[in-house]
Amino acid sequence: MPTPWAIPLFEQNLTDFIRILGPDRPDTFTSRSTLAGAYRDADRLDQAIPLFEQNLEDRTRTLGPAHPVTLTSRGNLANAYLAAGRSEEAKKLFEAP
C-alpha cells in the first residue's frame, strides 16, 4: 500500500504524461492505472473506479478486448467494483468473453 504522501506524486505524474505525451498513449494509460491502484489501496474507491473504467475503455479501443493488458485492466476494474460492493458489475466483467 502506498503511503499517503505518494498519491500527489502519482497525480502529478499522470498530469505530466497527459501534458507531454498526450492522453491516448500507453505510458499515460499505465500512469493512470498506477494512480487508480494507489487510490484503491487508500480506500478512495470513488476516485479509483473512474480511472479504472477509463483505462479499460482506452485499452479495449487501442489493443482490442482479448489483449493481455486489456484483460488485466478488466480484472483491475472488476476488483475495484468488488471492493466497492458493486458485485453485479464485477461479475459481468469476470464473465465477459
Please report the domains of the chain, with CATH numbers, ordered by start residue: 6-95 (1.25.40.10)
Mean pLDDT along residues 51-72? 97
Q: What is the mean pLDDT of residues 62-91?
A: 97
pLDDT tens digits along 25-37 = 999 999 999 999 9
Mean pLDDT of 54-71: 97
Is residue 2 scored above 70 in pLDDT? no
pTM for this predicted structure = 0.93
Range of weakest confidence among 1-10, 40-49, 79-88: 1-10
The b-or-e profile of 66-84 (16+ CB within 10 A means b, else e) is eeebbbebbebbbbbbeeb
Percentage above 70 pLDDT, the chain: 98
Angstrom distance (rounded) from CA 13 to CA 96: 32
Q: Which phi and psi angles does 46 have, rounded to 5°?
A: -65, -25
Confidence bin at 1 (pLDDT 50/70/90): low
Closest residue by Cα to residue 51 from 21, 17, 92 = 17
d(CA 32, CA 68): 17
pLDDT of 64 over the 80 cut: yes
